[in-house]
Amino acid sequence: MSLSTDQNWLKFFLNISQYIDSQVTNSGNHSLQVARLALATAKKFAMRDEEVRMTYWASLLHDIGKIGVPEEILTKNGPLDNNEWQFMRLHPILGANIIRSVSTISVISPIILCHQEKYDGSGYPYGLKGEAIPLGSRILAVVDAFDAMTNDRVYRTAFTKTKAIDELILSKGKQFDPVVVDKFLSILSSN
């Protein structure tokens, strides 16, 4: 595959990501906002520049697997039932498989695959725990949740920034890596 072909695929994937964002958020900028927050957070760690870039790109494309989730589930105004959750839980796997198909960005697929894992092992798709979850995925999990909480969704209105921060703090060590939460909160407090 040529570099120009890969660039065309990347543009295509970015368009899909933006389309998905427009289905579930009012702003349509969820992935871009998440990517910016993930970039700032990744820079707080002793990560190589390439790992920081990988975290940024994975964040831009983290929900691309939702293209395989029926629209009526993505836009449902209320809680999902068990069958609907089965579809939703597939999106990290679908997204990672889509991204694996393009050689120049396939390296970000593990971050996308694991972005719904939880620090305590109760996440999906594999129930990974703690350090077994890639750092980029642990960063993405925190900033994705914060952005989702602080923006209106089809199924609920936005939380205040204070309430979202309280939720992150409450979930330290459970859903989220405590170190990632602390570094992310330091960024929020400095802005």
Write down the domain spans for the chain. 3-190
Helix, strand, coil distribution of the chain in percent, nearest 5: 65, 5, 30
Q: Residue holding tokens 């760690």?
A: 45
3-190 homologous superfamily: Hypothetical protein af1432 (1.10.3210.10)
Q: What are phi and psi of 125, to 5 degrees?
A: -90, -15
Q: Tens place of pLDDT for every residue, the chain, 191 residues?
A: 455 677 888 888 988 998 888 887 766 789 999 999 999 999 999 999 999 999 999 999 999 999 999 999 988 888 899 999 999 999 999 999 999 988 889 999 999 999 999 999 999 999 999 999 999 999 999 999 999 999 877 777 889 999 999 999 999 999 999 999 999 999 999 87
Pair 164, 150: CB distance under 8 Å? yes
Q: Residues 159-171: pLDDT tens digits? A: 999 999 999 999 9
Q: Which two structure tokens, joined as six digits, stand for 43?
A: 């820079």
Q: How far is 42 from 108, CA to CA, in rounded Å?
A: 14
The answer to whether the predicted template modeling score (pTM) of the entire model surpasses 0.85 is: yes
